[in-house]
Structures are given as C-alpha cells and as structure tokens.
Amino acid sequence: MSGDEERWYPDQPRWWKYVGRAQENLLAVTGASTAPGDRTVIRVDLESEVLDAGYSVRVDTSVEDQQNHPTDVEVALTSEVQGDKIPGTGYVRYLRYKWD
C-alpha cells in the first residue's frame, strides 16, 4: 500500500487477508502510484540463495475507483525464466528480474 491513509486499505482486501495470518511469510515493497504512460522500476536486492529455492514474486495492483488485480503478475524466482519479460494481466505491462 502506498501511503498511510486508512481509507485506501479496503482497495486490497486480499493483501490484508495474508498480512493478518501469522504463518504467512511475506516481504512487501510498496510505492507511489505512477501517472498513465509512466513506468516504475523497483530494485530489490535478494540473497542468491533465493533463486531456485521455491520463492516467487507477485504484484497486486489497484487504481482508485477502478478494477483491482489481486495477482496482476506472478512468477517463480528461477534461473530458467531470469531475464524474461513476464506479462501482467492488469496494470503491469511486464515484470522482469535478474541476478547480478
């Protein structure tokens, strides 16, 4: 979630469902909304042990007064698809990751 205004919390009900469960192992990155036509690049440094270890990245998106996409794009962190453009199904055009 971007920002701390509680009025936006209901826009991502699935997110709050997972956050409320103690047994879920989630690590989240949030960011401000982008303007139409803009793009956002997010860099996350992860340990090399995460690659090919059963972890995945999922992007949930929503826009005020428009459609929510609880799983806009999801991909397993594997060396096999590293560098590929994984298309989104909503507001995300694609997701791509790589290890240095």
pLDDT digits (tens, 9 = 90+) for 56-98: 998 888 777 788 888 899 999 999 999 999 999 998 889 999 8
Contact present, 56 and 26 (Cβ < 8 Å): no
Q: Which two tokens stand for residue 4?
A: 């701390």
Assigned domain for 100 exists = no
Q: Per residue in 4-35, pLDDT tens?
A: 556 666 666 666 666 665 555 666 666 667 77
The whole domain housing 41 covers 6-95
Find the DSSP H helices in the chain: 13-19
Distances (CA, A) of 6 to 1, 11, 14, 17, 25: 10, 10, 16, 16, 23
Assigned domain for 59 exists = yes
Domain count across the chain: 1
The arithmetic mean of pLDDT across residues 42-67, rounded, is 85
Assigned domain for 1 exists = no
Assigned domain for 45 exists = yes
CA distance 66 to 55: 30
Predicted pLDDT of residue 2: 46
Residue with tokens 């199904």, as numbered in its chain:
89
Contact present, 68 and 62 (Cβ < 8 Å): yes
Closest CA to 35 of 100, 97, 91: 91
Predicted pLDDT of residue 89: 94
Assigned domain for 51 exists = yes
What's the pTM value of the predicted model, to 2 decimals? 0.68
